[in-house]
Every structure is written in C-alpha cells, then in structure tokens.
Amino acid sequence: MAVFEYRALNSRGKRLSGIIDAESASAAKLKLRQQEIFPTALNTIESQPGAGELKSSSFFSGFSLFSKVGSSELAMVTRQLSTLLSAGFPLVKALSTLIPQTKSNTMKRVLSKVKEAVEEGSSFAKALALYPNIFSPIFINMVNAGESSGTLEIVLERLADFTENQEASKRKIQASLAYPVLMAIIGFGVLIVLLTYVVPGIVSIFSDMNHTLPLPTLILISVSSFFKSWWWAVILVPFLLLALVFFVKKTDKGGFFIDRLLISLPVTGGLLKKIIAARFTRTLGSLLENGVPMLTALNITKSIAGNRVIHELISKASNTVEQGGELGEVLSRNKYFPYLASQMIKIGETSGEIEKMLEKTADLFEKDVETAITAATSLIEPLIILVMGVVVGCIIMAVCLPIPIFEINQLIQ
C-alpha cells in the first residue's frame, strides 16, 4: 500500500491538504471523492529504509520533511497512541486513526510510512528505527521492550510522561536564563553605543582645550577611541571564539579536553555534574523499568550523556557490569560523577530495587538543579545591574572630573 500527499478542495471550495494511503493513485482519488474531497494535486511519498528521511515526488512537499518534530508534539502523539491501544484498538487501526488528527505534516508522513511497514509485517520498533532523526534510541528500545512483553500501551504512556518531563525541565532552565541573558546583551549593546557615539563627542571638547586631563578621563578617551575604531572586532571576536570552540569540540581530543574543563570548573562544573547525573539516572531508570537489559540501557545512556568524560565513564561501567561487577562501585570511584548519586545506585543494587532508586535519584538532582539555577539567576540579575551602574558611573566620573580644572583655569586667566 502506498502513501500519498494531496492538496484538494472540499464541497464548499475550501483548500485542504493531508496524507492518505491507498493501493494506487486512482484508488486514493476515489477514496478522497467518497469523502467529498476533490484532489487538485496528488504526490507519492517514498521512503528509503534506514535513511531516516522521506522523499516526495514534489520538490516543495519533500523539502518540508526536513523540519524537526518537537518533543512536545512527539509526546502528544505518543500519549494519543497509548490511549487508543488501551481502548482496544489494534496497532494498525490506532495509527490510521491518529494520522488525520496529527497537525504536523512531517509527523503525518512518518506515521503513514510506519503504518505501512507494520502492515507489511515489520515490528513497530523496527518501523520506528527507520527514522532515527525523530525517534531516539531510548524511544525505540522502550517500544521494543513493550512489544516483547505485551505492554506496549503502558510503555507508550511512560514514554509520553518521560518526554514531557524532559521538555518541561528544559523549558524551566531556558525560562530562568532568558531574562539575565537578555539583560546582558542589552547592557553590552548600550555600553558599545555609549563608548562609540556618545562619549567621543563629549571628550573631544576636553582634547581640543590642550589641558592636562585626569587619568580616568585619559583612560576613557583611550577606550572610546578603541571602540570607535574597532567596534566591529569587539562584536566579531566572541563569535569567532565560539566558532573555534565548536570546531575544536568536534575533534576527539579537543572535545574531551573541553568537556573535562567544563565539568571541573568550581561552580558551574558542580551544576553540570548534577544535570548529567539527573539525565543519566532518569533515562537508565526508565529503560530498566520497561524491560530493557542493563547493558543495552547503559549503551543508550552513554550516547545521551552530552559529555565525553561521562561517556567514557559509562563505557567502563558497562564493561565492568558485563564482567559481573557493580555499576555503583565503578561510578563511586570517579570524581566527575556525583558521590551521592553513586551511593544511591549502590543502595538500589543491594536492595534489588535499582529502578526505583534511579528514579528517586533523578528527582533529587532535578530539584537541586532547578533550585541552583533559580538562585543563580536571582543573583545574576542584580549583579548585571550593579556592573552596568559601576561602568556608567565611571564614565560619568571621567567626564565630570576635568570640568573643575577648566573652571579654575578660566578664573586664573
């Protein structure tokens, strides 16, 4: 069965677009006409197994497939599919019901091809694995475990919860940092405008009088001259440095060095360790709870650690576990993994309830991270205001200091 993308008009003349599956183009047109939908364009959607992308016979319709599917949309689709399966719908029927309700054209196309693969005898997990750009290894492995155990609807509901919680945590962090970052950017912009356009006009008056100027005024004149001549470099250099760090981070040695430096910093390093520990324990706990074997779960979690140092640590831990060792023991011997997290994992292994202990550990560190970020942002905001006040105050002082000198010279003359 093929999948088609159509553009059409309904009986009222309203323009429509969507996805439909049928044996052929003529069958698709007939199916649409039975629904009082009259197609004006019909394009076949084709897929290449393993490519992770879809292609269409139309250039413009195919181009839209490169748009990214958001986590919130994926969570919504997963929860709806779980609800349909819990209501007794077969998987193919549930996918057919879900496709028209999905707003994203990208997700519609992917679900249509997944349904087609399942109809041809593929497992749901293998069908999802054809699109790794949308479905992560965590998602695919948990679906595979759910299919094997016959609890697919429960696993999908947990996946929806997991995805929503991850997205909510990310949004909280972004919202907390948005205002301080915006203030810093605006403050830096105001400072550049002052030193480039406002200050030169004022200090040029002092320079033309050929009098000895106070040191703060001389410094202000020098800084202002530098900004006026090299303002483009002041803006460009940070971007060039970020680009350099980005390219160095792509290399194995450079990336390992930068990751180790970041995780070793006095304040931010500790926060980064907690973020990684929360992500690791949450993901590992969810995978184990849904029947994914420990070694497979560790291989998945090391790929999402986001830090090469932790990636190497989890690889060593995986080898130790494979040889009969304990995960908590390996993690506790490494200074880059939070000691509390490793001890809680040890307790979970000893008690035989490692899944629950991993979930508790994730909850604990996520709350710590949220509290730390809230506290940091509450300090950053007044600190930025204070710094800007000091800078502006220094500029005003440097401008005002020469005025009494000129007044005295005028009285003498």
- pLDDT recorded at residue 360: 92
Whether the predicted pLDDT of 226 surpasses 50: yes
Per-residue pLDDT tens digits for 89-145: 889 888 888 888 887 788 888 888 898 888 888 899 899 988 888 888 888 888 888
pLDDT at 58: 35
Label residue 392 by pLDDT band (50, 70, 90): confident
What integer pLDDT is reported at residue 209 of this predicted model? Answer: 62
Does residue 37 or residue 277 have the better pLDDT?
A: 277
0.75 surpassed by pTM: no
Alpha-carbon span 113 to 128, nearest angstrom? 9
Side chain identity at 53, as an amino acid letter?
E
Superfamily of domain 169-413: Type II secretion system (T2SS), domain F (1.20.81.30)
144-163 pLDDT, tens digit each: 888 887 888 888 888 888 88
DSSP state of 7: E
Query: Using CB atoms within 10 A of its CB, is residue 12 exposed (0-12), middle (13-18) or buried (19+)?
Result: exposed
Contact between 217 and 404 under an 8 Å Cβ cutoff? The reply is no
Q: 12: which 2 tokens?
A: 């009222």
Please state the domain extents for the chain: 2-66, 71-164, 169-413
Q: Looking at the domain covering 71-164, what would its CATH class be?
A: mainly alpha
> What mean pLDDT is predicted for residues 193-220?
74
pLDDT at 45: 60
Q: What is the pLDDT of residues 258-287, one digit of tens each?
A: 889 988 888 788 888 998 898 889 888 888
